DNA sequence: CAACCGATCACCT
DNA sequence: GGTGATCGGTTGC
């Protein structure tokens, strides 16, 4: 029961985004809805974005602090949720000590609890015998992940994910990641070659093609 | 299947 | 006024 477990502590997120992105693989993202319903999924794909000192032109923090990206410059372990392409949210977690703006983008989860509700949030009707390829469409990709878990900028941006009472957090259920694949990041036009995308090798719930 | 395109808007220059 | 850390439908090989 991931829900009973503790949120990962702030120290977990205080490290370099590359380390945090790697270490988040296999952890469980938990969302508690207002009515108490639990939605959760195992993180199978993440991307690191570096702070200013990392000289990462693909990162939102690259141009310095603005109103939009202010959360990234705050303490680690907070949600940075932004709206893009006119219709999608993306969720990141701030990393590194306050003042340094690294973060990790959550790109995909393998649905665990509340699968039917997450599918419904995505406008899908799931048959009882839904195939893996269909289950994949629930949360493979940062926009899908947010839609499935009801993550929106208006309510979730800036939320502290390390509080025991938080309705959005990451926890460790003891799962061991068998093998990790590292690739360049997806959907960016600058720093396209940096190997900062991490995924669980062979996992079907990763966005794009099956890796490893 | 890969490639392309349209949707649609917050944000920054 | 241009540009996206995207998605899903359509087109065409």
Query: To 5 degrees, how large is the angle CA A3–CA A75–CA A68?
Result: 100
pLDDT at A129 (0 to 100): 85
Footprint of strand C on the protein (CB under 7 A): A 47, 49, 58-61, 80, 84-88, 90, 92, 103, 105, 122, 137, 140-145, 185-189, 207
pLDDT at A128 (0 to 100): 84
Residues of chain A with pLDDT under 50: none
pLDDT at A113 (0 to 100): 97
Spacing of A9 CA from B10 C1' in Å: 31
Residues 6+ apart with CB under 8 A from A36: none
Instruction: State the pTM of this model.
Output: 0.96
pLDDT tens string A73-110: 999 999 999 999 999 999 999 999 999 999 999 999 99
pLDDT at A5 (0 to 100): 82
pLDDT at A1 (0 to 100): 54
Give whole-number Cα distances, A206 to A27, A150, A183, in Å. Answer: 14, 19, 12
pLDDT at A101 (0 to 100): 97
pLDDT at A48 (0 to 100): 98
pLDDT at A175 (0 to 100): 98
Phi, psi torsion values for A38, nearest 5 degrees: -105, 130
Report d(CA A30, CA A43) in Å as an integer: 10
């Amino acid at each position: 029961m991931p829900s009973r477990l503790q949120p990962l502590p702030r120290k977990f997120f205080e490290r370099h985004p590359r380390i945090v992105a790697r270490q988040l693989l296999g952890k469980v993202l938990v969302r508690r809805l207002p009515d108490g319903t639990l939605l959760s999924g195992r993180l199978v794909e993440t991307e690191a974005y570096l702070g200013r000192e990392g000289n990462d032109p693909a990162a939102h923090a690259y141009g310095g602090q603005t109103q939009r990206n202010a959360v990234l410059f705050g303490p680690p372990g907070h949600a940075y949720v932004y709206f893009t392409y006119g219709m999608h949210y993306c969720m990141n977690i701030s990393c590194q000590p306050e003042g340094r703006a690294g973060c990790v983008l959550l790109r995909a989860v393998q649905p665990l609890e509340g699968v039917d509700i997450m599918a419904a949030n995505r406008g899908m009707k799931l048959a009882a015998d839904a195939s893996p390829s269909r289950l994949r469409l629930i949360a493979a990709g940062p926009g899908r992940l947010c839609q499935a878990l009801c993550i929106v900028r208006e309510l979730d941006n800036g939320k502290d994910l390390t509080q025991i009472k938080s309705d959005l957090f990451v926890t460790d259920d003891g799962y061991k990641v068998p093998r990790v694949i590292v690739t360049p990041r997806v959907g960016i036009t600058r720093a396209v070659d940096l190997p900062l995308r991490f995924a669980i090798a062979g996992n079907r719930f990763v966005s794009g093609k099956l890796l490893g």
